[in-house]
Amino acid sequence: MNRNTQKHSYSAAIMPARLVVALLAGAALGLLAQAPGVKIMRDRGEEFEALVQKADEYRAAGKLLSAAQVREQLARTSCVVNLPKPATKALSDRQIWQRSRESHARLGWHYLCGKCDKWHLGLSGGCFITPDGVIATCYHVIKPNPEHRQASLVAADEEGRLFPVAEVLAANEFTDTALVRAQVDAPVKCLALNTNVYPGDGAWCYSDPLGRAGYFSKGMVNRFYYQKSKDREGIRLEVSTDWAPGSSGSAVVDEAANVIGLVSTIQPASSTRARGTNQPPAAASTMITFHSAARAADIIALVKPPARR
């Protein structure tokens, strides 16, 4: 074997070893792609099935609030709740994510649909606002669905624990706000409410848009605007933070992780004229998407004094 042949043979021999080292290094980097303690989310799977099973157990034991009871209690317009004072210390984005995740509630219906005999679980969002289990959410999240043959209201946290909802404390359909009490077995992490909000302030949201569990988004407060109906006028909050169906009721928070609003609506707006002409476009195109939230002020309006401690 000449020197060149020997050199090529040596290179061929060590290449597999180098490849193995590179692959092992890549695998190690993959294992360390996120910080210790960061939960890797599953959109569906064993965790969700465990929630369904727990809801079945609570239903069989008669521990769940029925749709009929919810419908009756939605007439309640105020309640007495001791709300924590707003935080004042600005947090990092990572800390805001942590606080938002810890206090996030998944709220919705364990129901029997009209198409099969299987019980389903449909969850939207909410936020714990007291350690003893009071959840702020949107009215439309807990409004009974007439297509459900049977249904009960349940809540869950980000640790996979499912709780019966004991009662609806207060609600307002026009402002799209509601307070419910979950039967928690230990104090929960919660967030305070803040009404000292200006356009340009940061706005963050932790929610489950389109079934993407634990999606965290950052934007800003765009504006406050009047919302009108036939005989009433209210105020809503618009932000540039991302959300989608499935996010409803989730908290929109400020830089100190105080709740400034609740995810209420999303409205893609299309152009009505072709650019540079007075003619309709050939196909509707989304120009901007508006994200509207119910205000913290309207959540506080459901609470009788003493509202803060």
Q: How far is CA 279 from the centre of its chain?
A: 40
Average confidence (pLDDT) over 64-73 = 98
pLDDT of residue 306: 52
Residue 170 CB coordination number (10 Å): 22
DSSP per-residue string spanning 109-173: EEEE-SS-S-EEEEEEEEEE-STT-EEEE-HHHHSPPTT-SEEEEEEEETTS-EEEEEEEEEEET
Q: Is residue 93 part of a domain?
A: yes
Q: Is residue 2 part of a domain?
A: no
The rounded Cα 77 to chain-centroid distance in angstroms is 24
Which residues does residue 154 pair with via DSSP β-bridges, in sequence order? 108, 164
Range of the domain at 92: 46-304
DSSP string for 170-226: EEETTTTEEEEEE--SS------B-----TT-EEEEEE-GGG-TTEEEEEEEEEEEE
Tell me 67's DSSP state.
Answer: H
Model pTM score: 0.84
Contact by Cβ (8 Å): 94, 206 = no
Q: How confident is the model at residue 281 (pLDDT cuts 50, 70, 90)?
A: low
Q: What is the pLDDT of residues 165-185, one digit of tens each?
A: 999 999 999 999 999 999 999
Give pLDDT tens digits for 134-165.
Answer: 999 999 999 999 999 999 999 999 999 999 99
Residue 211 located in a structural domain: yes
Question: Which residues partner with 220 through β-bridges?
Answer: 202
- The SS3 assignment for 252 reads strand
Q: In this structure, is the dihedral angle defined by the CA atoms of residues 76, 78, 84 and 85, taken in order, positive or negative? A: positive
Residue 309 scores a pLDDT above 50: no
Report the CATH number that the domain containing residue 148 is assigned in CATH.
Answer: 2.40.10.120
Q: Does residue 63 form part of some domain? A: yes
In the block, residue with structure tokens 């909410």: 126
What's the structural domain count of the chain? 1
Any domain includes 12:
no
* Total residues belonging to the chain: 309
pLDDT tens sequence across 15-36: 455 544 444 444 444 455 688 8
Q: Which amino acid is at 288?
A: I
Is 284 in contact with 249 (CB distance < 8 Å)?
no
- Averaged pLDDT for residues 118-147: 97
Residue 59 — pLDDT band, cuts 50, 70, 90? very high
